[in-house]
Amino acid sequence: MAENLRQLRDRRDSVATTKKITRAMELIASSRVPKAQRKVRSAGPYAHELKRAISAVASHSQEDHPLTRPVTDPVRPGVLVITSDRGLAGAYSSNAIKAAEELTASLEDRQEIKVYLCGRKAIQYYEFRERPVAHTWSGFSDAPTYQNARQIADKLLADFLTPTEEGGLDEIHLVYTHFHSMLIQQPRVMRLLPLEVVDYEEGEESGEPEEDEEIFHQFRFEPDAASVLDNLLPLYVANRIHFVLLQSAASELASRQRAMKSATDNAEQLIQTLSRKANQARQAAITQEITEIVGGAAALTDSTPEE
């Protein structure tokens, strides 16, 4: 019986330690979420300016650019999957991977799908299943910088601009997790390339009115519209990637916070049950001891010969 009591107490103590850890992780995550959201917001002005500039140039000139040219019969799509580096974030990474699986299943009729991965969780998933991967990045999932986005953009653009016959891509899709609120984060699929410059966004930005389109009409371009567009579009691609990385980082932190909160709650419940059981066991041991003593004393009195 005493053995059992000790076991229960040991378990309770170990759950209490776990609870301390999950509580700490919850607090860390919840303090980082606002920071991640702030980053999303402070990248807003750049995205807004760039968007205005591109719509200006695009409406001004009917330039045919390799990055915007629609592909009629794509044969080799690329898929970039963004997940977290670390686990303990609930279903965050597996949801993104699931969305990616659905996407690749729908692209199955194409010749060959090239997969690009971002975040250690996705890399582990693909390595375990021994699937081919074109390129991977990791180590920055909860605090991505613009430099990270540039590296990814440079690689993707280089592959996209390679002719299809030589193994280049003719379409690039992104799978990321959109941050709606602290409670809702949804995996989303977006086509990155070829770019759709017109109506590509559904109110992700501050919702500025877009009535200032026509003021761009009489622009003078230096050196000319084509090279300005040449300069702008890669920036735009990098900006999109930066945006989805920031969104994913915020989502990761929010879902880690939620996962850790429920882990803490569970630990609390477990501690309560274990304490009750331990108390019960202790009480049972005491009762038994008393019964034994009383029984022993009674037996003693009974056996003593009367004098």
Partner 1 sequence: MAAPKPLHVDVVAADRQVWKGDAVNIIIRTTEGDIGILPGHEPIFANLVPCAARIITDDGKQEVIAVDGGYVAVDDKGHVSILAQYASRSGEISREGAQQDVDKISRMMDRNEFSEDDVHRLHLAQAQLLAAKHIAAQKD
Contact assessment for residue 14 and residue 301, using Cβ atoms and an 8 Å cutoff: no
Nearer to partner 1 by Cβ, of 238 and 259: the residue is: 238
Nearer to partner 1 by Cβ, of 146 and 200: the residue is: 146
For partner 1, the binding residues (CB under 8 A) are 39, 42-43, 45-46, 49-50, 52-53, 56-57, 145-147, 149-151, 154, 215-216, 218-223, 227-228, 231-232, 235, 238-239, 242
Burial of 49 (0-12, 13-18, 19+ CB in 10 A): exposed
Q: How far is the CB of 227 from partner 1 (least distance, A)?
A: 6
Rounded to the nearest 10 degrees, the angle between the axes of helix 225-303 and helix 146-161 is 120
Nearer to partner 1 by Cβ, of 242 and 258: the residue is: 242
Between CA 57 and CA 190 the distance in angstroms is: 23
Nearer to partner 1 by Cβ, of 113 and 233: the residue is: 233
Q: How far is the CB of 222 from partner 1 (least distance, A)?
A: 4
Between CA 148 and CA 180 the distance in angstroms is: 23
Instruction: Please state whether beta strands 171-179 and 185-193 pair in parallel, antiparallel, or not at all (unpaired).
Output: antiparallel
Nearer to partner 1 by Cβ, of 56 and 260: the residue is: 56
| Amino acid making up residue 6 | R
Q: How far is the CB of 266 from partner 1 (least distance, A)?
A: 38
Q: How far is the CB of 170 from partner 1 (least distance, A)?
A: 22
Q: How far is the CB of 92 from partner 1 (least distance, A)?
A: 23
40's tokens: 């999303």
For 154, the 3-state DSSP assignment is helix
Distance of CA 212 to the CA centre of its chain: 35
